[in-house]
Structure 1
Amino acid sequence: MSLPENSLNSTPLASRLHIAIFGKRNAGKSSLINAITNQEIALVSPVAGTTTDPVFKAMELLPIGPVVIIDTAGIDDEGALGELRVKKTYQVLNKTDVAILVIDGETGVSDYDLEILAKIKEKNIPVIGVVNKKDSSNYRREEKKKWEDLLGFSLLEVSAFRREGIEELKRQIINKAPGSFTDIPLISDLLNPGDVAVLVVPIDKAAPKGRLILPQQQTIRELLDSGCIAMVAKESELNIALNSLKQKPKLVVTDSQAFKKVAEITPQDIPLTSFSILFARYKGDLVQLVEGTKAIKNLENGDKVLISEACTHHRQEDDIGTVKIPRLLKEITKKELSFSWSSGFTFPENLEDYKLVIHCGGCMINRKEMLYRLSVLKEKNIPVVNYGVFIAFALGILDRALKPLKN
């Protein structure tokens, strides 16, 4: 899987509109990616099954702005390995904002196309139908109306090879794109222009050398875009930062791992929360995540707890997910619990085994993917909290951390 790097000046992958391309092997999905991006991004070959893992390409699509185009493996892939590829293709649906279904103009609509279309509709994803290879001598143009009747919508004729019909496809993507996916605020609705927010950013062994982690970057950028003032300090310099201000800051936001120390330093009359709690609201369902804390007191010896992270990273000696959170949960419950871990873009299938799920802030997945995960857990009646909500609860400061978000 190919992912773009994030920087303070680029829109994070998880905050972009996700446009996924689905279809059979050799329908021309990869060629269509190259045509849309006007780059040779995806490997193109006459050999069926060239695309294996999903390929992500970040780009600008005006007037929408930053988007991610996702190339997927063919939905008709075969064999044991092919089944795994198809499974990954279906998983892409959980993060898809707009779907493009590519029909092979030489072979027409298949049962595979109808099957993926049913799953797209089941998830209420806007879909655009494209029939490719209109330049081919084997293009079955006379059957296009029959294919449209089968699918239930019109098909746009394109030639990905000759890059014909691509501008009209882009216009259809713009028309289908959800209009408010970038309008959800992370922090800007909690302050007014000119207000000061103090951001507490620990620099420990887990911090990436020479840069800030994504939640910190996004928070700083949104504060600047909103005309607010961001003061950044380590927890060891928080007292100095607060005392240097002529007026009280409107909000203090801390990394969850420094929550206890920051709560002790920050006066009670200054609102306090964490990056992870901001992301609980920004990416998911804060009410559901707070409700999940009620299950903690009911945990019994032997109960299974899943700790899920949406990204993969190098584990540190005192890693938050594998060490700190299990230790803290054992301390407050006084129970012998069984822990499991998951990471990356997949979510475990055996969720019924768990009495509680503790999820990361979700900064590396989009809101659609996070809401999908939460909906699965809600449907299965499995309580869930995220890192920031859990840590604030365990330290006895959850009410204080939630108060700024209720104003």
Structure 2
Amino acid sequence: MMKEETPRANRFHIGLFGRRNSGKSSLVNMLTGQQVAVVSDVPGTTTDVVLKNIELPGVGASVLVDTAGYDDEGELGGLRVRQTVNAARRVDLALIIVSGLPDGAEKEKAWAERFRADDIPVLYIYNKVDEDGGSHADAWCMTLGATEVVSVSARTGEGRDRLLSAMAEVYRRTDEVEDLTGNLAGEGDTVVLVMPQDIQAPKGRLILPQVQTLRNLLDKRCTALCCTADRLSATLSVLSSPPSLIITDSQVFPTVEALCPPQTRLTSFSVLFARQKGDIRQFLQGAEALCALRPDARVLIAEACTHVPQHEDIGRVKLPRLLRCKFGEALHIDIVSGNDFPEDLSAYDLVIHCGACMFTRRHVLNRLRRARACGVPVTNYGVAIAALTGILDKVAVPE
């Protein structure tokens, strides 16, 4: 039986942040109705970021992100706080959990400002209302300068519906790109997907971008044909008329472009995800900076997923080869993967990011914002390969 589950990257990420023993983990357990997180009266029980998939009313597929207290102390405490900081950059909604009487709320204010700077919405949650009847919630509201503090009890479940409604309202206001192919494909269109099944593709399965693109086309009632690059010519020959669109893996862009009929639009999985996960205009501007790099420039290649590098890896082998072929061996290239991403990007002349199918849109936009703040241009794997091979002007970008 096939297991159907929304990929974590496509889920709405809700982070729980607060001081030690404020009841973050208890709140996770209340929302899930399970003992997902270990709880106790001992401050600092949660030491690592805990992720739990959940379906929430009014939101749908979500991930609850439980974090260590941001007031943790000592050497290990500092490491835990850094994990919390990294988690904060990946959430779509931040719940700041408070309890007891406010003591100036400087940490809460500082974290709220951190989230606002990253354009992440914040909900304040007053927990443990069963212990004091909620008498301190108004004091927190005034101290924080908030319009609302949602009062709940993780122990009794009081206020759960109010919290769910508040989270659903935030979700309704989020700016998500739902249609992966946008205006490039419509009902009745024939679309060819060129999908190399190389050593990096999981045996017996398709990689996530291919699956999601295929599902998008089926939802739009398109006719989708799939082939590998070596079978593209044969696939085109059996069609009575050229397809409306060809979507290719970026690695075979030049091969596919050479076979693409003049009236057929061409794009790549990476370009589609560049628009859905980030800012396609910023990536196109980054391509201009790419073409103008100095021979001794410093480039950062950023991969979203962590994997053991394999033969002809696109980020670690193919892109560096293309870059050095164009700009020379003096080009300095650094490579990071997963959540490793430099705090300070100012040393770089360009960042080339992968399609980010494993990241949330908020996570990618956060990285793009940090790059803009440092004045560093960013482009995307697919856009970069098209630019380096001289066919970017022939690539269709969805709107």
**TM-score of the pair, normalised by structure 2:** 0.93
Structure 2 counterpart of 1:316: 310
Out of 149, 153, 156, the residue aligned to residue 159 of structure 1 is: 153
Counterparts of residues 279-318 of structure 1 (less than 5 Å): 279-318=273-312
Structure 1 counterpart of 2:141: 148
In 1, Cα distance between equivalents of 2:340 and 2:61: 24
Matched, 1:361 2:351: no
1:145, CA displacement in angstroms?
Answer: 2.2
Question: Which stretch has the larger CA shift, 334-343 or 361-370?
Answer: 334-343
Matched, 1:377 2:371: yes
Structure 2 counterpart of 1:4: none
Matched, 1:258 2:248: no
Matched, 1:102 2:97: yes
Question: Which stretch has the larger CA shift, 260-269 or 297-306?
Answer: 297-306
> RMSD value over aligned CA atoms?
2.1
Structure 1 counterpart of 2:179: 185
Out of 3, 6, 12, the residue aligned to residue 7 of structure 2 is: 12
SS in structure 2 of the partner of residue 237 of structure 1: helix
In 1, Cα distance between equivalents of 2:292 and 2:176: 38
1:276, CA displacement in angstroms?
Answer: 0.5
Deviation string, structure 1 residues 13-48 (Cα, Å, up to 9, x no partner): 222222111111111101101111112222223332
Matched, 1:52 2:47: yes
SS in structure 1 of the partner of residue 35 of structure 2: coil
The answer (yes or no) to whether the contact 2:290–2:384 under 8 Å persists in 1 is no
Which amino acid in 1 is paired with 2:220?
A: S
In 1, Cα distance between equivalents of 2:242 and 2:8: 34
Structure 1 counterpart of 2:122: 127
Structure 2 counterpart of 1:64: 59
The answer (yes or no) to whether the contact 1:105–1:141 under 8 Å persists in 2 is no
1:234, CA displacement in angstroms?
Answer: 0.9
Matched, 1:196 2:190: yes
1:279, CA displacement in angstroms?
Answer: 1.1
SS in structure 2 of the partner of residue 352 of structure 1: coil
1:286, CA displacement in angstroms?
Answer: 1.4
In 1, Cα distance between equivalents of 2:11 and 2:58: 13
In 1, Cα distance between equivalents of 2:72 and 2:135: 27
Identity %: 43
The answer (yes or no) to whether the contact 2:101–2:140 under 8 Å persists in 1 is no
Deviation string, structure 1 residues 170-204 (Cα, Å, up to 9, x no partner): 11111222435444321143222111111111011
Deviation string, structure 1 residues 91-147 (Cα, Å, up to 9, x no partner): 3332322221111237776432222122233334322222112233xx484433222
SS in structure 1 of the partner of residue 89 of structure 2: helix
Which amino acid in 2 is paired with 1:150?
A: T
Unaligned runs of 5+ in 1: 1-6
Matched, 1:25 2:20: yes
The answer (yes or no) to whether the contact 2:44–2:69 under 8 Å persists in 1 is yes
In 2, Cα distance between equivalents of 1:194 and 1:45: 58
Structure 1 counterpart of 2:83: 88
Structure 2 counterpart of 1:221: 215
In 2, Cα distance between equivalents of 1:121 and 1:104: 22
1:74, CA displacement in angstroms?
Answer: 0.5
The answer (yes or no) to whether the contact 2:105–2:144 under 8 Å persists in 1 is no
In 1, Cα distance between equivalents of 2:23 and 2:5: 30
Deviation string, structure 1 residues 358-379 (Cα, Å, up to 9, x no partner): 1111111111111111121122
Deviation string, structure 1 residues 63-108 (Cα, Å, up to 9, x no partner): 2221221111111011122122212222333232222111123777
The answer (yes or no) to whether the contact 2:94–2:121 under 8 Å persists in 1 is yes
Question: Which stretch has the larger CA shift, 51-60 or 190-199?
Answer: 51-60
**TM-score of the pair, normalised by structure 1:** 0.91
1:303, CA displacement in angstroms?
Answer: 2.5
In 1, Cα distance between equivalents of 2:246 and 2:314: 21
Which amino acid in 2 is paired with 1:143?
A: H
* Cα 1:122–1:352 shift into 2, 3 Å: closer
Out of 21, 33, 39, the residue aligned to residue 38 of structure 1 is: 33
* Cα 1:296–1:392 shift into 2, 3 Å: same
Structure 1 counterpart of 2:170: 176
Structure 2 counterpart of 1:238: 232
Structure 2 counterpart of 1:3: none
In 2, Cα distance between equivalents of 1:305 and 1:125: 28
In 1, Cα distance between equivalents of 2:346 and 2:111: 26
1:8, CA displacement in angstroms?
Answer: 8.6
Which amino acid in 2 is paired with 1:160?
A: A
Question: Which stretch has the larger CA shift, 221-230 or 10-19?
Answer: 10-19
